Copies of this chain bind each other. A is one copy, B any other.
Amino acid sequence: MSSTSPKIPYKIYLEESEMPKAWYNIRHAMKNKPAPLLNPGTHQPMQAEELEPVFCKELIAQELDNDTEYFEIPQEIRDFYRMYRPSPLVRAYCLEEALDTPAHIYYKFEGNNTSGSHKLNSAIAQAYYAKKQGLKGVTTETGAGQWGTALSMACSYFGLDCKVYMVKVSYEQKPFRREVMRVYGADVTPSPSETTQIGRKILADHPGTTGSLGCAISEAVEAAVSTPGYRYVLGSVLNQVLLHQSVIGLETEAALAKYDIVPDIIIGCAGGGSNLGGLIAPFMRDKINGKLDARIIAVEPASCPSLTRGVYAYDFCDTGMVCPLAKMYTLGSGFIPSPNHAGGLRYHGMSSVLSQLYDDGLMEAVSVEQTSVFEAAERFARVEGILPAPESSHAIKVAIDEALKCKETGEEKNIVFGLTGTGYFDLVAYEKFHNGEMTDYVPSDADLQKSISQLPVID
């Protein structure tokens, strides 16, 4: 911070007029583009027409476009964004004081909307394009429930039907998530279910399974392609989702610029990669172009460590192997996280964009165990006032670690992290943590080897 800059407020808000008018496509800046989706039968790059039975047309165009730098945000979506955006970039003065660190900590808080997370940024976009295409409804999966809630809100806004397959363990641990979706008129089914062919097969092969995002995706895709007037939408992993989530990064960039703050470390939790990919988009561009020398860190759970312990290869996006193949860091589509894993970040793979950036050495990755994550969450809550989601708390954990390193070295680094959402629906997990019943789980090498050995063979 230069000496002439004004004092930085607790919360940096943009004016509505300063909100982004276009999404930024990080693929435009990437020297090595993410690998294309492949047809699971022919192993040839998927063409737009092949994707049309599953996805909305305009979203397919966004998905396949590595070259367009900016996509204009339609006015209808910008109107909706104004209901809960711009989101604040918060200077964590109280956390800094509690840690006694010279670091300056900032977090972009995406939890101040009823869906409770950043997922709404892409949900409203996907619902908009579905409506524009004249569809009757959409299907989707949800893990921790944030995406399902966000999509329910978005569909309600545009008058679309919304059918959600919710990973069974979350459905059972988060009874109130279903009720919020019901407020918005959604139909919620625990997955795996008897309502689809693939669900029945998974239940037969894995009796008593608590489900996974991969299973739920298969069911939602099957439901979409077998129901006239429906398409499938996805809350993470896909290029289009990272595109929509760039609104997080663009706002963060604009807020930092108001006070001449240059980030030294940018941290985000990573499951499928939607939040991280959105948060880092403009900063990664500057890093690729040599204009920014910042560390960018993905934080993943030790119980589902796709970047830190997976392989970079083509894999199925879903357990039922009905989706296109994507090249990504993956644990294998058959990987199912331990049932004691709280919250989201349960996906076996990672966004192709982030996988490529990681493979290119432009991004770091660390994995953290969940009891340490909840310790960080509670520490944060007590001084910053916000009850964080378990997912977001992965980023908090590493931000605190980095701030404590600054305390050792005396460095006044600017640490920016994404606080993706609130933990109001995660209190079963908090209760376990308080009762000392929460345990850590790290898959064995043998377990990972088993699921990774089932990757498809691509010539």
Given contacts A184-B381, A427-B176, contact A112 B112 (CB under 8 A): yes
Q: Which residues of B contact A13 (CB under 8 A)?
A: 13
* Contact B381 A183, beta carbon cutoff 8 Å: yes
A427 and B422 CA atoms in complex are apart in Å by: 16
**Interface bracket on A:** 35 or more
Q: How far is the CB of A279 from chain B (nearest CB, A)?
A: 20
Q: Which of the 9-residue segments A342-350, A382-390, A409-417 touches chain B? A: A382-390
Given contacts A82-B9, A83-B94, A427-B176, contact A422 B114 (CB under 8 A): yes
Q: How far is the CB of A110 from chain B (nearest CB, A)?
A: 12
Instruction: Answer whether residue A70 sits at the interface, using C-beta atoms and an 8 A cutoff.
Output: no
A180 and B157 CA atoms in complex are apart in Å by: 31
Instruction: Answer whether residue A113 sits at the interface, using C-beta atoms and an 8 A cutoff.
Output: yes
A1-40 interface code vs B (CB 8 A; 1 in, 0 out): 0000000011101011000000000000000000000000
A97 and B111 CA atoms in complex are apart in Å by: 26
Q: Which residues of B contact A185 (CB under 8 A)?
A: 382
* Contact B183 A114, beta carbon cutoff 8 Å: no
Q: Which residues of B contact A10 (CB under 8 A)?
A: 16, 82-83
A383 and B80 CA atoms in complex are apart in Å by: 10
Which of A9, A157, A424 has most chain B Cβ within 10 Å? A424
Q: Which residues of B contact A434 (CB under 8 A)?
A: 179, 182-183
Instruction: Answer whether residue A106 sits at the interface, using C-beta atoms and an 8 A cutoff.
Output: no
* Contact B430 A83, beta carbon cutoff 8 Å: no
Q: Which residues of B contact A384 (CB under 8 A)?
A: 83
Partner of A183, one of B94, B156, B382: B382
Q: Which residues of B contact A425 (CB under 8 A)?
A: 424
* Contact B83 A385, beta carbon cutoff 8 Å: yes
Q: How far is the CB of A378 from chain B (nearest CB, A)?
A: 6
> Which residue of chain B has its CB nearest to the CB of A84?
B385
Q: How far is the CB of A283 from chain B (nearest CB, A)?
A: 25
Q: Which residues of B contact A112 (CB under 8 A)?
A: 112
* Contact B82 A11, beta carbon cutoff 8 Å: yes
A184 and B156 CA atoms in complex are apart in Å by: 35
Q: How far is the CB of A425 from chain B (nearest CB, A)?
A: 7
A385 and B150 CA atoms in complex are apart in Å by: 10
Q: Which residues of B contact A113 (CB under 8 A)?
A: 385-386
Instruction: Answer whether residue A431 sits at the interface, using C-beta atoms and an 8 A cutoff.
Output: yes
Q: How far is the CB of A433 from chain B (nearest CB, A)?
A: 9
A384-425 interface code vs B (CB 8 A; 1 in, 0 out): 111100000000000000000000000000000000001011
Q: How far is the CB of A293 from chain B (nearest CB, A)?
A: 31
Known: A157-B385, A185-B382; 12 extra A-B contacts, CB below 8 A, are A10-B16, A11-B16, A83-B94, A83-B384, A84-B385, A113-B385, A113-B386, A114-B386, A153-B385, A157-B382, A182-B434, A183-B382
Closest 5 CB pairs of A and B: A176-B427, A424-B424, A10-B82, A179-B427, A114-B387
